[in-house]
Chains A and B, each alone.
Chain A
């Protein structure tokens, strides 16, 4: 208790509050703009923290991380372009909610779901950091491969009308990520002998192209043909979700947060996988799976609760073992180290007050982010009142700047445009975008982990089924696949019968 009070008095000073507000605001802005990510926001605020004492420094880094995660949902819902890869699953239903005039409810519930997911993940972390850290390190390359294959199986649920077209999308996504330097041997692939193409296709760049360009082309095309543009949701109400709406989501919130915490704890995975898994599970457990993809509230709650829970999950190996799971937590680790805080098992024994203040600052960051975001909803939804063709131009400018800024590379702007125009024609051909994105997100992890596993076993594939964890995820993936095949076989006779009548 003494530690708690000491930590509380250290964490709740004006300087930490100001640092948290600043961090959350920077994070929200970076998160909301496609192409600017919370990793970039973190890298930017890190030097500011060098001269601070350690509480405000930690407060600012955590708030930036969390703000960035939350900001991603804003653009996902309002303009249908995810601000961060973690918010990609939020687009599916969020965009439809906005079109139905429920943008403010969608942003509101995404924020609250995120806040609850994040704080739940912290509770899980506090209660079982040791056990979860052990679970996290039991995931080696072979187990992560199985987990990723399970993640890919969600294509079945995301494919929409035609499974074949969904699979085509998934394969296109996987293939795109092969461009550039092979992650293991460093062999250049499809680079035509140029150094520029060694950088390959960046996930964020491809994501921006995939979501933003087709939208912009469609809107401008309609405007050019002189058609009357309906200002989507012209009477945007700024109402926040009711408590009843929230309460109806309690199981979804809990399930999604747990998925996010566990996935976040495994180094080398991250937000996008967690969000898609949670979305797929929410659809499977729902009483109305047919409403998903058409503006279902649960379809916004699940990915947002889950990707925010990843933040707490990622803290488990970071604080518990000193192992960062992704680039963002690697920067936070750098920030902690520079202030002389070495995360790891000893930190719990030697400096319990630091651990406690990290927990408190984590909660503080969530509350501040949620408050800023909920106040911001009023401003954000005004964006929907801008005529669509003008908005489209704004989006395009933002996307060009964003895709350049990721690696300060003009090559990426070209990639963004190319991917975008190809995506436009694919969509016209009925290929859904989400499976392509899933391929993009999971492809590099799948390749890196499966090949590392095979190097480890000296080429023997038995390593993939050597552990129970691995077997579990292979089994789950197989179940989903078999279920899907049964559904197709059953619906075929019915469909052909309907065709005859």
Chain B
């Protein structure tokens, strides 16, 4: 069997000339170095679910602010380690950024990442998420004190659903129940399944995002007892802080923001930071935050960086206390 080359598929002289002219035109206009950004910016996302949707909203709004498309690319796995590693080794030109969170601290202290937050350049904080503690309504626990009393009287370990062992919700739960002096068994579920397990009666409490519980709170099947931040924030469900409910001093929230590879030029970082700033300030972002259940919060690159340094230290100490710190400092 022989194949003949179809003349229609080869370049005709006129087409070739046109292409050559085009290439030349681009080459001539090239030398004057264009300003950042001159092409699509790629935002790496580390997780699926609501976090991915949030990143897509942010990317969409940043595209409008920066004048080039910002697209999200999913690089999941290793609790975030895969995506961070990708960005760590990407070219520091501003076209590779990552939608980061304090998972960078948890994976580092778990020994899954050979570098820590300091090896990436902060761009801006874009939001904060506050987990809440929820219980089944028919348990009859209306406050954290009720739960504490019942758990101590029963003498049994409290079964608490978290997103995964070593995950942020696990750490926050541990810090909470440590303060209440209640023995606990942590049961790891993937994202999103904890409400089902709570409704099914297989766990006693769950620490998750308020938006997951909102429909059930309205339906009267689940009660939310408290939020883990020190300051009261507006959430999908109305509740008090754990701090004011007896877990004195508890202040654990998830930050979300953007990072670039270390060595990205400061003027490029500044442009990305400004795009993030105007995205966070837009009413569309506020609406998405309301619907998806997070709180918009902007911090500049410098403030964001010093906040992370503090938060990382705290997470490291917390993990040492839990005996899951594999790096130990």
Contact A334 B74 (CB under 8 A): no
Q: How far is the CB of B212 from chain A (nearest CB, A)?
A: 7
Query: Which of the residues A43, A50, A195 comes within 8 Å of B82, measured between beta carbons?
Result: A195
Do the beta carbons of A346 and B218 come within 8 Å of each other? yes
Q: Encode contact with A along B169-201: 1 for CB under 8 Å, 0 otherwise.
A: 000000000000000011111111101110110
| A19 CA / B191 CA spacing, docked (Å) | 29
Contact A321:B112 (CB < 8 A) given known A50-B60, A330-B48, A455-B188: no
Given contacts A47-B56, A322-B215, contact A330 B49 (CB under 8 A): yes
Q: Say yes or no: B193 contacts A409, CB within 8 Å.
A: no
Is there a chain A Cβ closer than 8 Å to B75's Cβ? yes
Partner of B216, one of A340, A345, A458: A345
State which residues 336-365 of A face B: CB under 8 Å. Answer: 337-340, 342-347
Inter-subunit contact A456/B185 (CB<8 Å): yes
Check A198/B112 contact, CB under 8 A, given A137-B196, A334-B50, A458-B185.
Answer: yes
Tell me if A151 counts as interface (CB < 8 A to partner B): no
Q: Which A residues are CB-close (under 8 A) to B114? A: 195
Asked if B300 is at the interface of the complex by the 8 Å CB criterion, the answer is no
Residue of A nearest to B195 (CB): A323
| Residue A291 CB within 8 A of the other chain | no
Which A residues fall within an 8 A CB radius of B? Answer: 43, 46-47, 50, 136-141, 180-181, 184-186, 188, 195-196, 198-200, 267-268, 317, 321-324, 327, 330-331, 333-335, 337-340, 342-347, 387, 407-409, 448, 452, 455-456, 458
Checking B53, B73, B221 against A408 with a beta-carbon cut-off of 8 angstroms, the contacting residue is B73
Minimal Cβ-Cβ distance residue in A for B166: A186
Are B195 and A140 in contact (CB-based, < 8 A)?
no
**Given known A331-B48, A338-B288, A339-B291, contact A456–B196 (CB-CB < 8 A):** no
Cross-interface CB contact of B56 among A46, A136, A141, A333, cutoff 8 Å: A46
Top-6 shortest CB links A-B: A344-B215, A334-B53, A198-B78, A199-B77, A137-B200, A345-B219
Q: Are A323 and B49 in contact (CB under 8 A)?
A: no
Q: Other than the known A184-B188, A186-B79, A456-B202, what 6 A-B pairs have Cβ atoms closer than 8 Å?
A: A46-B53, A185-B166, A267-B196, A323-B193, A324-B49, A334-B52
Q: Which residues of A contact B74 (CB under 8 A)?
A: 43, 407-408
Q: Which residues from chain A contact B48 at a C-beta distance below 8 Å? A: 327, 330-331
B157/A43 in contact, CB under 8 A: no
CB-based contact B196/A331 at 8 Å: no
- Best-buried of A335, A338, A409 by chain B (most CB within 10 Å): A338
Q: Is B166 within 8 A of A321, CB to CB?
A: no
Q: How far is the CA of A347 from the CA of B192 in the complex (A)?
A: 19
Q: How many chain B residues have a CB neighbour from A under 8 Å?
A: 58
Other-chain contact of B165, A186, A195, A456 (Cβ < 8 Å): A186
A199 touching B82, Cβ below 8 Å: yes
Cβ of B127 within 8 Å of any chain A Cβ, yes or no, is: no
Q: List 21 A-B contacts (CB under 8 A).
A: A43-B56, A47-B59, A137-B197, A140-B202, A195-B81, A195-B85, A199-B78, A323-B193, A324-B192, A327-B48, A334-B52, A334-B53, A338-B291, A342-B291, A343-B215, A344-B219, A345-B219, A407-B74, A448-B190, A452-B187, A456-B159
User: Which residues of the other chain, A, contact B196 by a CB distance below 8 angstroms?
Assistant: 136-137, 267, 317, 321, 323
Name the B residues within 8 Å of A47 (CB-CB): 56-57, 59-60
> Does B148 sit within 8 A of A, measured CB to CB?
no
Nearest-Cβ distance from residue B159 to partner chain A, whole angstroms: 6
Q: Which residues of B contact A186 (CB under 8 A)?
A: 79, 110, 112, 164-166
Residue B125, interface by CB 8 Å: no
User: Which residue of chain B lies nearest to A344 when distances are taken between CB atoms in the complex?
Assistant: B215
Q: B79 to chain A: which residues have CB within 8 Å?
A: 181, 186
Decide if B200 touches A140 in the complex (CB within 8 Å).
yes
Interchain nearest-CB distance for B193 vs A (Å): 6
Using Cβ atoms and an 8 Å threshold, which residues of chain B touch A140? Answer: 197, 200, 202
Residues of B within 8 Å of A344, CB to CB, are: 214-216, 218-219
Task: Check: B250 CB closer than 8 A to any chain A CB.
Answer: no
Assembly CA distance A324 to B192 (angstroms): 7
Residues of chain B touching chain A, judged by Cβ–Cβ distance below 8 Å, are 1, 48-50, 52-53, 56-57, 59-60, 73-79, 81-82, 85-86, 110, 112-114, 157, 159, 164-166, 185-193, 195-197, 199-200, 202-203, 211-212, 214-216, 218-219, 221, 288, 291-293
Residue of B nearest to A338 (CB): B291
- Distance from B295 Cβ to chain A, minimum over Cβ atoms (Å): 15
Closest to B56 in A: A47
Query: Chain B residues with Cβ under 8 A from A137's Cβ?
Result: 196-197, 199-200
Determine the distance from Cα of A346 to Cα of B81 in the docked complex, in whole angstroms: 38
* A407-B199 contact in complex given A186-B165, A458-B185, C-beta closer than 8 Å: no
Given A268-B193, A323-B192, A342-B215, A195 and B112 contact (CB-CB distance below 8 Å): yes
From A180, A340, A456, residue with most partner B Cβ within 10 Å? A456
What residue of chain A has the Cβ atom nearest to residue B44's Cβ?
A408
Q: Are A198 and B291 in contact (CB under 8 A)?
A: no
Max chain A Cβ within 10 angstroms of own Cβ: one of B53, B114, B157: B53
Query: For A448, what are the chain B residues with a Cβ–Cβ distance below 8 Å?
Result: 190
Task: List B contacts of A339 (CB < 8 A).
Answer: 291
Note all chain A residues with C-beta closer than 8 A to B164: 184, 186
Q: How far, in whole Å, are A217 and B165 apart by their CA atoms in the complex?
A: 43
How far in angstroms is the closest Cβ of chain A from B55? 10
Residues in A whose Cβ lies below 8 Å from that of B110: 186
Give B63 Cβ to nearest chain A Cβ, in Å: 10
- When distances are taken between beta carbons in the complex, the residues of chain A under 8 Å from B73 are 408
B210 CB to closest chain A CB, in angstroms? 12
Alpha-carbon distance between A198 and B86 when the two chains are bound, in angstroms: 13
Tell whether, in the assembled complex, residue B53 and residue A345 are in contact, meaning their CB atoms are under 8 Å apart: no
Minimum CB–CB distance for B199 against chain A, Å: 5
With contact pairs A138-B200, A195-B114 given, residues A334 and B218 touching in the complex (Cβ less than 8 Å)? no
B254 to chain A, nearest CB (A): 17
| Nearest CB of chain A from residue B203's CB, rounded to whole Å | 8
User: Is the CB–CB distance between A409 and B219 below 8 Å?
Assistant: no
- Residues on A with C-beta less than 8 A from B293 are 337
**A386 CB to nearest B CB, Å:** 13
Known: A137-B199, A331-B48. A347 touches B77 (CB 8 A): no
On chain A, the residues within 8 Å of B202 by CB distance are: 140-141, 456
Contact call B52/A456, Cβ cutoff below 8 A: no
Q: B157 — which chain A residues lie within 8 A by C-beta?
A: 458
Residue among B49, B185, B191, B192 with the highest chain A CB neighbour number at 10 A: B192
Chain A positions within 8 Å of B86 at CB level: 408
CB of B77 within 8 A of CB of A407, answer yes
Task: Name the one of B85, B188, B195 contacting A452, with C-beta atoms under 8 angstroms.
Answer: B188
Q: How far is the CA of A46 from the CA of B74 in the complex (A)?
A: 14
Would you give the shortest CB distance from A346 to chain B, in whole angstroms? 5
Q: Is the CB of B76 within 8 A of A456?
A: no
From A334, A346, A387, give the contact of B215 (CB < 8 A): A346
Nearest B residue to A195 via CB reads B85
A455 to B60, Cβ gap below 8 A? no
- Residues of A within 8 Å of B197, CB to CB, are 137, 140
Specify the chain A residue showing the minimal Cβ separation from B60: A47
Complex Cα distance, B193 from A455, in Å, reads 16
Residues B292 and A338 in contact, CB atoms below 8 Å apart: yes
